[in-house]
Structure 1
Amino acid sequence: MKDIFSEVNRILESGQSGVIARIIRQKGSTPRSTGTRCLILEDGSIMGTIGGGQMEHLVMERAREVMRNQRSVIMKLALYGKDGAEMEMLCGGAVDIYLEPVSGENIKTREIFSELGRMAIEGRRGVIVTRVDEGIPAQDPACRILIQEDRSIFGAIEGLDAPGVHAFLPVGSPRLVETDTGTLFVEPVSPPEALYLFGAGHVSLFVCSLAAQVGFRVVVIDDRKDFANVERFPTADKIRVDAFLEVFDKITVTPDSYIVIVTHGHIHDRTVLREALRTYPKYIGMIGSRRKRDTIFASLRQEGVSDDILARVHCPIGLEIGAQTPEEIAVSILAELISVRNLGKNKAENLHRKVVSRPE
């Protein structure tokens, strides 16, 4: 799944139009949370989801109207009572959904989404502020502001000056803000988490494909150019052919990064693991049996690596679901990565224990 904002940038650059649908307010139990967004394209296709089912069908129908009129709309949907029953959604909550037309003819809009595309590639963060109201035309040049980490500003909202804009930094979660200039929706912009996939064998093929679908930015690394290439890994964001021992000097591992070690040999796995433990990503996982893990860990202890540091490693990698084939192993690995991303490390560990201890 590609980043929605990057996809908006792509369609605007190609001269197309679309509609961004965002959940801007949520009350009670709903399929998705505030800030969830999707993009409806001119051909009626959709990227992303704001909850699926009849609710999303209604949004897509309304989006066609928004595309025709080129003016924004706020949909208020109750997922309870008669309305909920008609949508076959009895979650019990309610959502406000903002449908915003975007057009490549709006130069300011194009500039902002072009910068958002660069931010995603370069791993930069920021905040985007969108004016929310009925009937805002797609050509409005003053309906959106992008604020970057360095406090630089792209775009404008009428009546909002620089001090007022900078007051939105930082923002932890998406929210509606009432101001003298009107209602604003403020949302953080974060780059996709980087997944450094060491090894370009059979398992990596499926890990890369699945990881790209669920929103990771995948960097495939191997020392064999016949394996690490775009023909084998068309969904990778980047492919590096480099020696495993040297490549860590050429990549940027952050606290939001994930490292998966599935190289073509135990010696290479150990080399990568040793270098990975000098960094502090969100996740380090290595393929292999418990016997392999214990052997590698013992050799690293002899080099002075402490048990506390080794405890950061997920090995055997993936949730224990009895995976056998490369495809199944990839599913187990992605399940573990998603659990760490969505639940945090501690809850993910609890989930792992529950799966492992599940009775036959």
Structure 2
Amino acid sequence: MRDILDDVLAWHRAGTRFALATVVRTWSSSPRGPGASMAVAESGEVVGSVSGGCVEGAVYDLAERVIATGVPVRETYGVSDDEAFGVGLTCGGTIEVFVELVTAESFPELPAVAAAEADRRATAVATVVDGEGELGGRIVLGPDGASGTVRDPDLAYSVAELAEGLLAHGRNGVLHLGAHGEHRMEDVTVFVESFAPSPEMIVFGAIDFAAAVVRVGKFLGYHVTVCDARPVFATARRFPDADEIVVQWPHDYLAGREVDERTVICVLTHDPKFDVPLLVEALGTRAGYIGAMGSRRTHDDRMARLREEGVSEANLARLSSPIGLDLGGRTPEETAVAIAAEIVAAHWGGSGRRLSDTTSPIHA
């Protein structure tokens, strides 16, 4: 639901009833993962997608039925038949979709979930997608505790407890419990969607290439910060897409803030007085990706300076320099795409090769 939260919140505030279809489980090469959502308003308006277009028509019909009856439905869609127009997934995967009616009365916590998301506070929404007597029941776990509509108190407690574990890791997942919350039983199936804060991208160096990197970072879903010691360059006018702009010496800024495994650090300064102390600091963090811009000559000089500063070979191996994949581009926008491609490949373990030259599954 995260990708359509603003749209459904507007319907919720207007008192518009809508059916919410959520991918709760996938098998094989599914086009979209658990948590992907599509919503259909009682007016017929549609937002979002559960499969990238393969089964949206069938899900729309299902959503209209749920709006009319108020009864939640769970449906599984697999490979399409031999007819090109058959309902199914042409990619060969399988998805399980849960469709429920949402009203202001049935989901009063929705505005609070949206507010927590906007404030970068972690929230989880756990929905019973299978279970006698509790189908459609919901537990919302937020900064102020848990609330919801699951009637059995023991089940509600177990759902909140397990959802907290998934939320701590920023993961969506399916829970199986007994009717009264017993573990290692399967009377009740619960889908947990975690609204963990977006991962962060920190772009150092307020240059023209940085503006393009900021734009692609926002497109990929990052919370993007631009940092530069020069106030004349680090301005909101030059970086309108950035979430934050910091005027500070880069290594001082990085030393004073938290960095986790999901953080992406892009060093675009290619000036030794900035990037060497910054990279010494960055390579000592848990950041999942650290890349630095510069020519081959700049790279060789940078590596020598970092070794002089005592950076270990193991940490130097974490540095992507020169930054980005070899796409052959030259413009700031093309360079940003090359950087984004390397970030995505590093995150998912991709090879960076052309898919037409590989034989492995597209969605590993």
Cα RMSD (Å):
3.6
Q: Which moved more, 1:165-174 or 1:207-216?
A: 165-174
Q: Which residue of 1 aligns with 2:185?
A: none
Please tell me whether residue 56 in structure 1 is matched to residue 56 in structure 2.
Answer: yes
Please tell me whether residue 208 in structure 1 is matched to residue 214 in structure 2.
Answer: yes
Q: Which residue of 2 aligns with 1:46?
A: 47
Contact 1:31–1:91 (8 Å) recurs in 2: yes
Q: Which residue of 2 aligns with 1:11?
A: 10
TM-score (norm 2): 0.77
Superposed, 1:103-182 pairs within 5 Å as 103-104=103-104, 108-110=108-110, 112-114=112-114, 116-117=116-117, 121-122=120-121, 124=122, 127-132=124-129, 143-147=137-141, 152-161=145-154, 163-165=157-159, 166-171=161-166, 173-175=172-174, 177=176, 179-180=178-179, 182=188
Distance in structure 2 (CA, Å) of the matches to 1:233 and 1:16: 37
Letter in 2 for 1:289: S
- Output one character per residue of 1:129-168: Cα deviation in whole Å (capped at 9) or x when no partner: 102269x9xxx9x8221336x8932334111436423145
Distance in structure 2 (CA, Å) of the matches to 1:287 and 1:276: 14
Contact 1:25–1:176 (8 Å) recurs in 2: no
Distance in structure 2 (CA, Å) of the matches to 1:67 and 1:232: 46
Contact 2:227–2:247 (8 Å) recurs in 1: yes
Letter in 1 for 2:192: V
Distance in structure 2 (CA, Å) of the matches to 1:14 and 1:170: 31
SS in 2 for 1:132: strand
The count of corresponding residues between Structure 1 and Structure 2 is: 338
Distance in structure 2 (CA, Å) of the matches to 1:147 and 1:196: 29
Contact 2:38–2:50 (8 Å) recurs in 1: no
Contact 1:128–1:187 (8 Å) recurs in 2: yes
Q: 1:223 aligns with which of 220, 224, 229?
A: 229
Letter in 1 for 2:22: R
SS in 2 for 1:260: strand
Contact 1:21–1:38 (8 Å) recurs in 2: yes
Gaps of 5+ in 1: none
Q: Which residue of 1 aligns with 2:278?
A: 272
Q: Which residue of 2 aligns with 1:74?
A: 74
Distance in structure 2 (CA, Å) of the matches to 1:90 and 1:316: 39
Contact 2:19–2:99 (8 Å) recurs in 1: yes
Distance in structure 1 (CA, Å) of the matches to 2:162 and 2:284: 37
Distance in structure 2 (CA, Å) of the matches to 1:144 and 1:83: 39
Q: Which residue of 1 aligns with 2:184?
A: none
Please tell me whether residue 32 in structure 1 is matched to residue 47 in structure 2.
Answer: no
Distance in structure 2 (CA, Å) of the matches to 1:40 and 1:229: 38
Return closer, same or farther for 1:22/1:287 CA change in 2, 3 Å cut-off: same
1:16, CA displacement in angstroms? Answer: 6.2
1:197, CA displacement in angstroms? Answer: 1.1
Return closer, same or farther for 1:247/1:93 CA change in 2, 3 Å cut-off: closer
Distance in structure 2 (CA, Å) of the matches to 1:257 and 1:312: 13
Contact 1:194–1:258 (8 Å) recurs in 2: yes
Return closer, same or farther for 1:91/1:308 CA change in 2, 3 Å cut-off: closer
Distance in structure 2 (CA, Å) of the matches to 1:214 and 1:78: 28
1:249, CA displacement in angstroms? Answer: 3.9
1:261, CA displacement in angstroms? Answer: 0.7
Distance in structure 2 (CA, Å) of the matches to 1:16 and 1:328: 44
TM-score (norm 1): 0.78
Distance in structure 1 (CA, Å) of the matches to 2:239 and 2:46: 25
Contact 1:112–1:154 (8 Å) recurs in 2: no
Q: Which residue of 2 aligns with 1:198?
A: 204
Distance in structure 1 (CA, Å) of the matches to 2:258 and 2:5: 21
Distance in structure 1 (CA, Å) of the matches to 2:5 and 2:236: 21
Q: Which residue of 1 aligns with 2:298?
A: 292
1:68, CA displacement in angstroms? Answer: 6.6
Superposed, 1:230-245 pairs within 5 Å as 230-245=236-251
SS in 2 for 1:36: coil
Return closer, same or farther for 1:160/1:81 CA change in 2, 3 Å cut-off: farther
Return closer, same or farther for 1:128/1:89 CA change in 2, 3 Å cut-off: closer
**Identity over aligned pairs, percent:** 28
